[in-house]
Structure 1
Amino acid sequence: MTTFLVFLHILVCFALIVIVLLQPGKGASIGASFGAGGANTVFGAAGAGSFLGKMTGAAAVIFMLTSLTLSYFSGRPDTTTIMPEVVAPTQQVIPTPDQPLPPGTVPTQDLPPAEPPAPVQN
């Protein structure tokens, strides 16, 4: 569902951009840029104003609805996870004085008492 909404949202985004760019400006419309004699002859005698205005409104409403729906879905907690249900316990090793702990291991609470360092003889 979310994938479809994202696809629809992106499609409406591009459509809204194209529709807004096709609307006539103050000086001339899209017909003048293609070399037509009259400013409103590309879209017929009625002109492009009312048709493109309605299309812009419809695309804007669809854009807002998809935005709100996607934000609602992104705020909900996911029902699936990639994390395992049970985490494997870490390996616990009792270190000996001649062997250090390997990386990634956690020492147990029952460590042997630390031996005092040997006196240095000169």
Structure 2
Amino acid sequence: MKPIFIILHIAACIALIIIVLLQRGKGAGMGAAFGGSSQTVFGSTGATSFLHKVTTLVAILFMVTSLTLSFFFGKGTTSSIMEGVKSTNPPVTDQATPGGEAQPEAPAPPAENQ
């Protein structure tokens, strides 16, 4: 089952790259905008093109395969990367007293006005 989702995921990645590169950007007609072009520069684009619909479907397939693969490969791995690492430094304690308890600080003397 995992190899099928891996193949689908790779195919979706390649298809998404190709489809996005085939599309024309919104600013593609900007050079002709001041020359009396009938297209709007950044306004409404009209009906959704076929490439836009295909891009949406392939993006949904990409997201579904990503979630499925993360579910398959993430299941059962609860180990930590810090497992087995030994601490080389002792825990930090206050060195003011032998017991490790900090002595309260004396209040600062009041400033004398001269």
TM-score of the two chains, using structure 2 as the length reference? 0.47
| Larger RCO, structures 1/2 (Cα 8 Å, 6+ apart) | 2
Structure with more helix by fraction:
2
Larger radius of gyration: 1
